[in-house]
Structure formats: structure tokens, C-alpha cells
Amino acid sequence: MARDCGVDISGQRARQVKSQDFSRFDRIFGMDRANVRALRQKAPEGAHGRIHLFLHHALGQDEEVLDPYYGSEERFAAVCQTIREACEALATRLSERDDSALSSGHTSSTT
């Protein structure tokens, strides 16, 4: 189905979030509130600010990404489109922030 959306995930492997991920990544996204709750339960207290509901952080929408697994092909396509739009908006916003940080001399990164 991802291929139908123009996304090649053949090299991707799913895994559970590891404890070191909470210090390794600046942002960790949950697609629904249950994911966000589970992530916050697993995270150390200081990392809670890194965990976000994906559509809220990307588009400012207080909505969840619907799980397309048990739905129709049309639902999968709609979820794919929603995720694509949110990723593009998030990438633009982060790029603008990075450009601003570069021009101000303040930058940060994680490795």
C-alpha cells in the first residue's frame, strides 16, 4: 500500500522505542493519543516535552492519524495523503527554523 502512495519502505524495519531514543531524538511523534500516552509512560520525566501528537505538532490540528490497517483502500489513501501533507508542512517549518538559527548563529543537532 505504501508503494501506491509513492513511498518505498522496503528498507524500513519497525521497532519499539528504546530508552536511549528519548535522549537521542529532539522530537518523538505518536500518531494517536494512546501512542503519546504510552510514550510518556515509558519516557524519563525530562523527555516528556519531546513527545508530540503528530498532526498537532505538524499542522496545528488536535486530531489523531486514523489507523488504516482495518479500513478500506480509500481510507489508506486518505491517511497516506494526510501524513504526506503533515510531513511536508513539518519539513518546511523545521527548514525555516534551521535557516533562522543558521543566520543567528545558534544551531543544534543530535547524532
Q: Which CATH number characterizes residue 94's domain?
A: 3.40.50.2300
Note whether residue 13 is domain-resident. no
> 14 versus 55: which is more confidently predicted?
55
- 66-111 pLDDT, tens per residue? 998 888 889 999 999 999 999 999 999 888 876 665 554 444 444 3
> DSSP characters for the chain?
-TGGGT---TT----PPPTTHHHH-S-EEESSHHHHHHHHHHS-GGGGGGEEEHHHHHHS---PPP--TTS-HHHHHHHHHHHHHHHHHHHHHHHHHHHHHHHHT------
Q: What range defines the domain where residue 68 resides?
A: 19-104
Note whether residue 46 is domain-resident. yes
What is the chain's Cα-based Rg? 16
Note whether residue 23 is domain-resident. yes
Q: Would the pLDDT of 23 be above 50? A: yes
Mean pLDDT of 48-61: 95
Note whether residue 2 is domain-resident. no
Q: Count of domains in the chain?
A: 1
Residues 77, 68: Cα–Cα separation, whole Å: 9
Note whether residue 54 is domain-resident. yes
